[in-house]
């Protein structure tokens, strides 16, 4: 089965700048609530603000602070981005889709909300209790041979990349040693 287009369903992602702001606001609220004396407050605030310099380097980095867990996986805690979901509709890639990925999304929108058609033999929404034989039988029953279908061969030239010093500076790094 093919996977659905769309990537993973991640949870809430917060940048380091967001996290820093939330911590600062909570600390400020706490300082006001417990009526810290002015010297104590000033010292704490100064110490806290001294760490802002690190945000400049990592403001766009983030942390996934909340997983999305579906009802079926509450007990085992498996996050939604790791659950396999087969596509309910199959589409053929066209040349336009390969050249411009935006056309893949346009076709997906057309099929999902504007009444477009899936490829013959595509799967409809199904009950998870159906076994593979039943699904295969349903899919093949709707498939009708296409008459007059012509194929076109597309020649793709092999692109060579010179891996010189400039290329190695940009692409030659390893994430892990």
**11-62 pLDDT tens trace:** 677 777 777 778 777 777 776 776 666 666 666 666 665 555 555 555 567 7
Phi and psi of 141, rounded to 5°?
A: -65, -35
Contacts of 117 (CB under 8 A, 6+ apart): 111
The DSSP output letter for 78 is -
Spell out the domain ranges in the chain: 12-82, 95-142
State percent of the chain over pLDDT 90: 7
Mean pLDDT for 114-136 is: 59
Please tell me the pTM assigned to this model.
Answer: 0.32
| Whole-angstrom distance, CA of residue 114 vs CA of residue 91 | 15
Confidence (pLDDT) at 106? 92
Question: Which of 117, 111, 119 lies closest to 149, judged by CA?
Answer: 119
Which of 157 and 75 is assigned the larger pLDDT?
75
Confidence (pLDDT) at 88? 72
DSSP code string of 107-175: HHHHHHHS-PPPPTTPPPP--TT--HHHHHHHHHHH--PPSS--------PPP-----HHHHHHH---S
């Amino acid at each position: 089965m093919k996977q659905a287009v769309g990537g993973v369903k991640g949870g809430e992602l917060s940048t380091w700048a967001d996290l820093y702001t939330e911590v600062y606001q909570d600390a400020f609220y706490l300082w006001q609530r417990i009526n810290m004396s002015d010297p104590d407050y000033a010292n704490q605030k100064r110490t806290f603000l001294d760490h802002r310099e690190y945000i400049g380097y990592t403001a766009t980095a983030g942390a996934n602070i909340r997983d999305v867990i579906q009802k079926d996986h509450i007990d085992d805690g498996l996050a939604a981005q790791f659950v396999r979901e087969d596509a309910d509709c199959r589409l053929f890639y066209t040349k336009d889709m390969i050249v411009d990925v935006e056309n893949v999304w346009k076709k997906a929108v057309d099929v999902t909300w504007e009444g477009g058609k899936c490829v013959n033999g595509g799967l409809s929404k199904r009950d998870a209790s159906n076994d593979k034989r039943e699904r295969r039988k349903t899919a093949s029953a709707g498939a009708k041979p296409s008459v007059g279908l012509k194929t076109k061969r597309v020649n793709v030239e092999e692109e060579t990349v010179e891996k010189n010093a400039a290329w190695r500076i940009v692409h030659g790094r390893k994430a892990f040693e």
